[in-house]
Structures are given as C-alpha cells and as structure tokens.
Structure 1
Amino acid sequence: MDSLPISRAFTLLEPGPVILVSTHDGRKANLMTITWTMVLGFSANFAITTGPWNYSYAALRDRRECVIAIPTVDLIDTVVGIGTCSGADTDKLSRFGLTPAAARHVSAPLVRECLANIECRVTDIVEAHGIVVLEGVAAYIDTGRKERRTLHAVGDGTFIVDGETLDRREMMRSKLPEGL
C-alpha cells in the first residue's frame, strides 16, 4: 500500500449523500450545500457539519430548524454553485432556478427539484466539532422522479454517483430492527 497524507484521510470516509440544507432566518430563505452528513441510528436523527463560517449557520442556531433536501446527479452543477456562493449576497433559490415549497412544520422551504426533503428541528449543536444534530419531523419523496441517483463528495472537488443497487434485504431481515 502507498502512503496517504493524514490530512487527506477524510476523503476515504466521506459519507454522503451531498445534501442541500434549507434555512429561513425570519426574513429570507437560504440554501447551503453540505457534504458531511451522518444518520444517527435507525431513526430520523441526523447530524451535519457546519459552523459560523457558513451564512446559514446563524439561522440554524437561532431558529433551530431546517430542511434537508436531497438532490440527484442531474443537479450537480446547481449543488456546486450553491456551495460556492454566499447567501449573504445571493438569493440562491432564484439564482439557481429552484422552486421553494411550503413546509408543514418549519419555516424553511422544501426544494421541489430535489428527490426528497426532510423537515428537521435542531436538537443540539456541538460547537467544538461544528456538528449540528437534527431530528426529522416530516419527510417527503418524489416517487415519480425518474433520476434517483445521489451524489457523494470525495472532498477534493470530485464526486461519486450512486450505482447499481444490491439487494440483501432477505438475508438481513432477521437482523434489522422492527419495521425496516
């Protein structure tokens, strides 16, 4: 095996999928691209990594709510564009031609062009690590959407796209928690 600089080790574990986080600060909606996400167990609890350097962070901290919007591969240029400009001076929904839809439980909008949206409440912020813990309160999926492949960031400007689905549900059925 060849040596890899420890500063690049994170590129081996980037989890994905890449998500858009929709927030609303009481005046306007904003979107940010997040590549570091985590599911917390077999529940609707999630964690994202962000911090004060992101314009949306103040809305997450102060309003304690957001929407996780899950884009597909056909939105890659939109996802990268959203991640490379600031909501401080850009209306990202308008600039990237995305359609906001009213959420039922939070003030942040759903994003119609995405495969799925999850309305969330912020339950904890671990400032030392830039971790925002979220609890999902409602979820929606566009079952009619033809493109369903999601993006996974490697961390160096390259992305991996979901591929073939391998079904081992029957093999694992006795090991999964009830209801999955």
Structure 2
Amino acid sequence: MKTMPISKAFTLIEPGPVVLITTNDGEKNNIMTISWTMVMDFSPRFAITTGSWNYSYNALRNSKECIIAIPTVDLLDQIVGVGTCSGVDTDKFEKFGLTPLNGKHVGAPLIQECLANIECKVIDIVEKHNIIVLEGVEAYFDDEREEKRTIHAIGDGTFVVDGEKLDRREMMRSKLPEDV
C-alpha cells in the first residue's frame, strides 16, 4: 500500500446515499444536496451535516423541520445541479424540474420524483460539528418507481451507484431487533 493525503481519507468511508433536503423558511421552498448522512441506531433518527455556509441552514434552525428526499441515479444531474447553486437567487424546484408535494406534518415539501421522502423534525443541533439531528415522523416510498438505485458520493466529484442486493437476513436474524 502507499500513503495518501490524510485530507482525502474521508473519501474512503464517505457515507450515503446522497439525499436532497427540502426546507421552507415561511416564504419559499428550497432544496439542498447532502452527501453526509447517518442513521442513528435502529430508529427513525438521522443526522446530516450542514452549517451557516448553506442557505437552507437558517430555515432548518428556525422552522426545526425538513424533508429527507432520497433520489435515484436517474436524477444525478439534478442532484449535482441543486448542490452547485444557491437558493438565495434560484428556485431549485423550477430550475431542475422537481415537483413539490405537501406532507402531513411539516411545511417543507416532499419531492415527487424521489424514491422516498421522510418528514423530519430537528431535535438537536451540534454546532461544534455542524451536525443536525432529525427525528423522522412520517415516511413515504414510491414502490411503483422503476429506478430504485441510489447513489453515494465519494467526495471528490465522483459517485457510486447501488448495485446488486445481497440477502443475508436469515444469517443475521438472531442479531437484529424484531421490528427491523
């Protein structure tokens, strides 16, 4: 093995999938692309990382709610586009041809074109590490959608697409909680 720059070590374990976070600041909807997400235990709690450099951050802080929308590989160009422009001067739903849908519990919109959407409430903000902890309150999955492969960011402008699904549920059955 050879050494690599430690500043690039995150590309070895970058989590996924890439998600879109929608917010509403009371006046308008916005979308941001997030490539760092984390599931917390076997619960509907999630963590994302973002901060004041991101236009959606204030909406998250003030409204204390958002949607985690899970796009698929066919939306890659929209995902990158959303992540490379600002909601300050761009209506990202309009620019990228995405359809906002009303949820049941939060003011931020679901994204119709995504495979899944999770309505979330902000339950903690860890400012030191720019981590927002979310509690899922309602989840939606489009099982009629043909494309179901999600994408994962490597962190250097490249992505990996989910591939073959490997089933080891029986082998792990005794190790998983009953309701998983």
The amino acid of 1:52's aligned partner reads S
Structure 1: which 5+ residue stretches go unaligned?
none
Q: Post-superposition shift, 1:31? A: 0.1
Match of 1:174 in 2: 174
Q: Mapping of 1:19-58 within 5 angstroms? A: 19-58=19-58
The amino acid of 1:107's aligned partner reads G
Distance in 2, Cα, partners of 1:133 & 1:4:
32
Distance in 1, Cα, partners of 2:118 & 2:57:
18
TM-score by length of 1: 0.99
For residue 76 of structure 1, give the secondary structure of its aligned residue in structure 2: helix
Q: Mapping of 1:7-86 within 5 angstroms? A: 7-86=7-86
Q: Post-superposition shift, 1:178? A: 1.3
Alignment RMSD (CA, Å): 0.4
Q: Post-superposition shift, 1:110? A: 0.3
Counting matched residue pairs gives 180
For residue 78 of structure 1, give the secondary structure of its aligned residue in structure 2: helix
TM-superposition CA deviations, 1:41-78 (whole Å, max 9, x none):
00000000000000000000000000000000000000
What percent of counterpart residues are identical? 69
Distance in 2, Cα, partners of 1:2 & 1:153:
23
Match of 1:113 in 2: 113
TM-score by length of 2: 0.99
Match of 1:100 in 2: 100
Distance in 2, Cα, partners of 1:93 & 1:127:
28
TM-superposition CA deviations, 1:109-164 (whole Å, max 9, x none):
00000000000000000011000000000000001001000010000000000010
For residue 125 of structure 2, give the secondary structure of its aligned residue in structure 1: strand
The amino acid of 1:167's aligned partner reads D
Distance in 2, Cα, partners of 1:178 & 1:136:
20
For residue 9 of structure 2, give the secondary structure of its aligned residue in structure 1: helix
Q: Post-superposition shift, 1:4? A: 1.0
Distance in 1, Cα, partners of 2:70 & 2:53:
22
